[in-house]
Amino acid sequence: MAPKVIPIEERFWSKVDVKNQGDCWNWTAGTRGSKGYEYGGFRIKRGVMESSHRMAYILTFGEIPDDMIVCHRCDNAKCCNPHHLFLGTHDDNAKDRVMKGRSPNREGENNTMSVFTREDVIFIRENIANGEYSQKELSTMFGVSKTAISLVVHRRRWVHLK
């Protein structure tokens, strides 16, 4: 006797803790990810996995355009409630994260790639403004490229510092 084939919709929704429309419907099966962003993973067929929130969107609303991603209104990576999901671009998702205050401050010294301190930037800008040093001299002084100095002087870097 052949094994019973369970429809994909039934198989998927059996792994979701469905509640009221306003509540998060959490994925109850396996997850992947890290740092509090564990997304559910649903095996569509052998060798083909899809994120659970994307699958919830597809089953409810249809296909996802190639240039779009599925975002969460609730910011709960395990949530599969279609009413909490919306389509957006990566840029939309980043703006949503910033608007909700979930984006870490990576300005100035909080940026791990920064080679300057706040005081360095003030010094560079003041000394260029008053003609004390050239960008070349400052680049030698700080051991960085002239481009790095130019980006600070022209406020392409450290733009938050007036």
Who has greater pLDDT, 23 or 97? Answer: 23
pTM, to two decimals:
0.63
Residue 88: count other Cβ atoms within 10 Å of its Cβ: 15
> Residue 105 has what pLDDT?
65
**Cα(143)–Cα(146) distance, rounded to whole angstroms?**
9
CB 117 within 8 A of CB 123: no
> Residue 36 has what pLDDT?
60
9-23 pLDDT per residue, tens? 999 999 999 999 999
Maximum average pLDDT range among 26-35, 62-71, 96-105:
62-71
Give one DSSP letter per residue of 24-58, joined into a string. Answer: --EE-S-EE-STT--EEEEEEETTEEEEHHHHHHH
